[in-house]
């Protein structure tokens, strides 16, 4: 296993799509900035879960109001991803990345200082704006800094490992800080980290060539309002139900705006979401699988946490620590993927990752009131961690491979949008499934909690099966065709 410092050195880098060499850059420093910043926003996406009971008691939230602590973050994060990603290509990735860090850091301070619920919801929405900037631009900075080949593969492996452990480690950190300090500490910790990353970013990040031309204003409006409206309908379904006129109207409006986005993108010269990104079946398949895979695994964090606290009667700290086996295995396996990919085709690694995750999820769906942690939770979590470690790096590489320099931000935006939509829609569907299986949605009795977990994680297993079907029916034929062209000398396409 190599460290970033061993794999990546400080030397001149070549801008993507150019033949000139820029001034020497500190690639290890840049990778650290990218990974720590990306990890920070992922951490805040899950750290909130273990602190929700304490937040509700402190700020006197209603059950509906409490859900908007996460929904406000989700809406701005998901709605602005495509806009922020494309803006980075035009305005400058370095400049916008630092702006995103400033927004996220300031908003974290505001969340931690929240004197009332309305203040916290507004600050969480502001955090989502910062995250929408940092998330996709971090990946486009990575692809622009590290040329295709072994160095980029290693960098992507570290990025994928960060993506894989961010959510589960957030549960550990959230539980630890909530129990030992306060729920506010989980947000205050971002402030010194964010300040250090801003200073490092100003020192080490180098500006990449910008995309000249006009900004696609209609595309920006359609994408932001379309994704935002769609996500509003999805997250509102948890409280209002899928049959609610508000939910139906919001989803219908979101779909209509996204259709207008596609029509607009097919006509404009410099689209915010170039449709050529979907020309590759491998790339399109990876977006779809990411959507399904994230939708499936988000249920684990939401429902297993409830099982640990309401059935096994663990504290928030213990529940957070319960995710450590999955986190450790995930991280270790993800760092081995570049080495494994030299001997095993990456599509097989992705297939193995989906299969391992499916085994763990089916196992978890069989929990009962008499279950024990080690046999019924800890061991299946190890399978899920193994699956995540194997899956994320190939998914990331397939999503950005072959993308031209000028489309780097847009590809990152689409990938992150698939991730965020998958998380929101997946959780909404799984919560609805779990709620439909019991008489009371708010009941915390052992029997009702167990039933909700069983039904929801069975739904997660179904989403993983659909992901496997997409891999076999969409990605595999395209991958085989590309491999044949590569061996015949008619194509230079290679994955990982």
pLDDT in tens, 392-403: 888 888 887 777
Of 416, 410, 408, which Cα lies nearest the Cα of 135?
A: 416
DSSP state of 404: -
Residues 30, 304: Cα–Cα separation, whole Å: 36
Residues of the chain with pLDDT under 70: 1-25, 45-46, 49-53, 62-67, 164, 167-168, 209-213, 238, 405-408, 440-444, 482-483, 485-496
Could you tell me the pTM of the whole model?
Answer: 0.80
What's the pLDDT tens digit per position in 266-322? 888 778 788 888 888 888 899 999 999 998 998 888 888 889 888 998 887 788 788
Residues 76, 102: Cα–Cα separation, whole Å: 16
**Beta bridge partners of residue 10, listed in sequence order:** 26
Of 292, 261, 267, which Cα lies nearest the Cα of 83?
A: 261
DSSP state of 405: G
| Helix ranges (DSSP H) in 408-475 | 408-436, 446-470
Q: Of all helices (H) and strands (E), which one includes residue 10? A: strand 10-11
Residues 104, 112: Cα–Cα separation, whole Å: 12
| Per-residue model confidence (pLDDT) at position 16 | 37
CA distances (Å), 439 to each of 177, 350, 453, in order? 34, 39, 14
CA distances (Å), 425 to each of 301, 418, 430, 491, in order? 15, 10, 9, 37
CB atoms within 10 A of CB 382: 17
CB atoms within 10 A of CB 349: 21
Would you state the structure tokens that stand for residue 239, as one six-digit string?
């409280």
Q: Which residue has the tokens 């909130």?
A: 48
| Per-residue model confidence (pLDDT) at position 164 | 67
Residues 114, 187: Cα–Cα separation, whole Å: 11
| Per-residue model confidence (pLDDT) at position 64 | 56
Residues 357, 380: Cα–Cα separation, whole Å: 9
Q: How far is CA 245 from the centre of its chain?
A: 29
The answer to whether the beta carbons of residues 219 and 264 sit under 8 Å apart is yes
| Per-residue model confidence (pLDDT) at position 468 | 96
Of 446, 463, 441, 456, which Cα lies nearest the Cα of 238?
A: 441
Residues 257, 289: Cα–Cα separation, whole Å: 23
Residues 413, 417: Cα–Cα separation, whole Å: 6
| Per-residue model confidence (pLDDT) at position 375 | 93
Residues 219, 468: Cα–Cα separation, whole Å: 32
Q: Is 11 helix (H, G, I), strand (E, B) or coil?
A: strand
| Per-residue model confidence (pLDDT) at position 21 | 40
| Per-residue model confidence (pLDDT) at position 13 | 42
| Per-residue model confidence (pLDDT) at position 303 | 87
| Per-residue model confidence (pLDDT) at position 99 | 94
**Beta bridge partners of residue 14, listed in sequence order:** 21
| Per-residue model confidence (pLDDT) at position 442 | 62
| Per-residue model confidence (pLDDT) at position 367 | 93
Would you state the structure tokens that stand for residue 372, as one six-digit string?
């024990």
């Amino acid at each position: 296993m190599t460290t970033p410092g061993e794999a990546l050195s400080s030397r001149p880098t070549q801008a993507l799509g150019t033949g000139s060499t820029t001034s020497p850059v500190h690639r290890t420093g840049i990778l650290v900035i990218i990974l720590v910043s990306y990890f920070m926003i992922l951490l805040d996406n899950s750290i909130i879960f273990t602190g929700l009971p304490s937040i509700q008691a402190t700020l006197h939230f209603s059950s509906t109001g409490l859900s908007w602590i996460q929904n406000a973050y989700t809406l701005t994060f998901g709605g602005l991803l495509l806009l922020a990603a494309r803006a980075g290509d035009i305005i400058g990735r370095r400049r916008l990345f630092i702006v995103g860090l400033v927004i996220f850091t300031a908003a974290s301070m505001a969340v931690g200082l929240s004197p009332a619920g309305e203040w916290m919801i507004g600050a969480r929405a502001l955090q989502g704006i910062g995250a929408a900037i940092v998330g996709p631009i971090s990946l486009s900075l990575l692809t622009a800094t590290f040329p295709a080949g072994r160095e980029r593969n290693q960098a992507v492996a570290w990025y994928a490992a960060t993506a894989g452990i961010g959510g589960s480690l957030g549960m550990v950190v959230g539980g630890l800080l909530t129990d030992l300090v306060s729920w506010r500490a989980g947000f205050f910790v971002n402030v010194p980290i964010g300040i250090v990353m801003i200073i490092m970013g100003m020192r080490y990040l180098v500006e990449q060539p910008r995309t000249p031309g006009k900004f696609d204003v209609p595309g920006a409006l359609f994408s932001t309002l379309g994704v935002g409206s769609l996500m509003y309908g999805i997250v509102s379904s948890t409280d209002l139900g899928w049959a609610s006129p508000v939910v139906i109207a919001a989803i219908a409006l979101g779909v209509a705006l996204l259709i207008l986005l596609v029509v607009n993108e097919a006509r404009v010269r410099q689209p915010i979401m170039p449709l050529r990104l979907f020309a590759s079946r491998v790339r399109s398949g990876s977006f779809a699988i990411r959507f399904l895979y994230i939708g499936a695994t988000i249920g684990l964090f939401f429902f297993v946490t409830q099982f640990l606290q309401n059935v096994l009667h663990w504290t928030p700290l213990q529940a957070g620590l319960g995710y450590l086996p999955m986190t450790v295995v995930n991280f270790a396996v993800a760092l081995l993927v570049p080495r494994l990919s030299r001997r095993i085709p990456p599509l097989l690694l992705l297939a193995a990752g989906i299969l391992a995750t499916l085994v763990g999820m089916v196992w978890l769906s069989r929990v009962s009131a008499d279950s024990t942690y080690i046999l019924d939770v800890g061991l299946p979590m190890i399978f899920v961690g193994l699956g995540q470690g194997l899956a994320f790096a190939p998914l990331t590489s397939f999503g950005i491979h072959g993308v031209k320099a000028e489309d780097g931000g847009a590809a990152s935006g689409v990938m992150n949008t698939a991730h965020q939509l998958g998380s929101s829609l997946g959780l909404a569907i799984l919560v609805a499934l779990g709620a439909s299986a019991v008489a009371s949605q708010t009941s915390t009795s052992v029997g009702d909690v167990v039933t909700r977990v069983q039904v929801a994680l069975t739904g997660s297993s179904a989403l993983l099966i659909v992901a496997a079907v997409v891999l076999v029916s969409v990605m595999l034929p395209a991958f085989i065709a590309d491999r044949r062209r590569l061996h015949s000398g008619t194509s230079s396409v290679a994955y990982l």
